Amino acid sequence: MVRARELPLAEAPLLHSTVERLAARAGVLKPKLYLIPDGMPLTLATGRGPTYSALAVSSGCLAACPPAELEGVLAHELAHVKHRDVAIQTSVVVLAASLIELTRIGGWLQRPMLFVLGPVAAACTHLLLSPKREFEADRLAATLCESPHGLADALMRFDQAAELISFESSPATEPLWPFNPFLEEGLAALFVTHPKLEARVQRLRALETTKEAA
């Protein structure tokens, strides 16, 4: 769905090493790595859970993110793997995207079917996915990286990039990304499951304050 290709060890040894180290800390098997050929800085994880998963990173993410930020977003995806979020996320996205694709039959039926099936797909997404999973993945990522600031800085960078770089994909894939890369209008607005980015960054920064107080 996102045109990713498997990323060989020889092509990105440092990335493989970073993921292997973070996966060991998280107590999950190292996922297969894939590259998404897109300038938007993005990552995603799919699969069954801790024993079998795949992690994809966009070329834009590898080019734009400093090591601490890249480590933060990788840890966030591995947190989803550890919490087994990826299994339900993957299933929900495939179901929702399939419903949206059913509307692409063309002719005068396309708009009425989108009007009916779009909200149904969005309702399934919101029924099965909770924004709490993002807060929990953020918290565990900060623990894995021993600092919340890499992920917090990466989220802010992603948000700024979304204003400058166009991103085209099925809006049903929104739950897979570390933040909402779509403009919140039209069909895309129906599928937003992420909490507000400002709230996530604030919570992450507060983790450092709590640690210092302790």
87 is written with which tokens?
Answer: 């299994």
Alpha helices in the chain (DSSP H): 13-26, 59-64, 67-82, 85-102, 110-128, 132-145, 149-164, 186-190, 197-213
Q: Which residues contact 91 (CB under 8 A, 6 or more apart)?
A: none
Check if 77 is active-site.
Answer: yes
Distance CA 33, CA 72 (A): 16
Task: From the candidates 6, 11, 20, 77, give the one annotated as an active-site residue.
Answer: 77
Coil, helix or strand at residue 41 = coil
H or E element: which one contains 34? Answer: strand 32-36
145 is written with which tokens?
Answer: 């990286």
Which residues on adjacent β-strands are paired with residue 55? 33, 45
CA dihedral 55, 143, 82, 19 (to 10 degrees): 30
H or E element: which one contains 178? Answer: none
| Contact present, 2 and 173 (Cβ < 8 Å) | yes
Name the residues annotated as catalytic: 77
